[in-house]
Every structure is written in C-alpha cells, then in structure tokens.
Amino acid sequence: MSQEESQEELFNRLLTDLEKSPEEIPASIFAAFKVPLPSLTQAALSFHCRSLNIIKVMKSGIFYKAGLRGRPLPGKNSYKVYFLKDFAKFILAATYFITSELTSGEFLNKLEESFRDLKPFDEAIEQIRKCETIAKIYHSKGYFLNKLKQMKIDLETIKLSLLDKPIVFPAILRGRPDRIDNLISLFKEQLPHKTPDLLIS
C-alpha cells in the first residue's frame, strides 16, 4: 500500500483484483502486507485460501469504509471506524481461520503431501527430454545435448534432496486448537487498543 492510498482504497483495489482472479490469490494481496510473508507461509495460504472465500469475508458486512464499524456519529449514516493495522494480513488470516475445517495436524499433513509432490519435477524432466529430441537435429548438437543431460541430472538430484528435507511450518499454521480464539486474537492484534470488546465480539 502506498503512502497516499487509504485503507478504503486498498480494500477496493484488492477486492477488484480478487474478483478478476477467482481461482488463485492474486500477487497484489501478498504485496499489500506491511511485513512480507515468508515464502512457505505464502505458499501454504495460497494452498488453503481461495479468492472466492476471501471475497465472501470482505463482503460479509463486518467492514465499513474498510474498517470495523463502531458507534454512530452525528450526521447521516456516519460511524466511528476502527482501522486494522495490516488489512491484507488480517483479511487473509481471517479467511484462513474461518474456512478451515481441518484440524491443524490434518491440514499440515495435506500441505506437506502437496509440497512433496514429484509431479512438477517429473514434468520438467519430460520437457527437457523433448528439448533433447529437438536439439538432435541441429549441427554442433553435442554441446547442447550435454547441457540438457546435465539439467536432467540436476533436477533429479534436487528432487531427491528436497524430498528428504524436513518442512518446518510457521506458527500461524500450527497448533490451532480453536478457530474462534484465533480470530479474537487476530482482531486484538490488528485493531487499535481502544477498540471496545463488544465491537470485536
């Protein structure tokens, strides 16, 4: 979010981006985080959260001018607004907690299974084999064939090495005993200290 962009403008921009990309979370969501996410957390949230669910949360009615609506103020349809410290982080974490139907252990098992998928490596190696077939028709093909062969060897090595490495999941993905408790903690973390507890509830 730029210095000039208000939270309401950020809300509208991200909502527009999400509606254009219903199948996957657009990069603008992660770019809007005030503190960048570690790549593993970003990949995990992308695996779990869908744009359509984030849109539902954003349009759920809890927001007013991209903050939480407080007590009425003098004037027509005017309310005190409590703005979130990091809107992008809040909306993605809230969606993650709200839409999670699996226990922490079940989710992490599914996540690890997806990260340990061999298919992308195997597909890349198959593509290199096709490149070798093409390279064989050219003059001075030996150099290129050796480079492609080395690429296949490197990919196989990387694949086997990565699959043996443990995956350490970040705290946000571990130990989620209660979604409601997590949501309350998220609200308290992201809202100003003077936000009334009744508003949060």
Q: Which of 136, 128, 133, 134 is nearest to 155 (CA)?
A: 128
DSSP 170: -
**Block residue for tokens 């690429």:** 151
Strands (E), the chain: 63-64, 67-72, 79-82
- The segments of the chain whose pLDDT lies below 50 read 1-3
Check residue 174 and give its pLDDT.
Answer: 64
Strand partners of residue 67: 64
Check residue 102 and give its pLDDT.
Answer: 55
pTM of the model: 0.61
Per-residue pLDDT tens digits for 111-120: 777 777 788 8
Rounded Cα–Cα distance for residues 8 and 4 (Å): 11
**Own/partner pairs, 103-106, CB within 8 angstroms, 24+ separation:** 103/176, 104/173, 104/174, 104/175, 104/176, 104/177
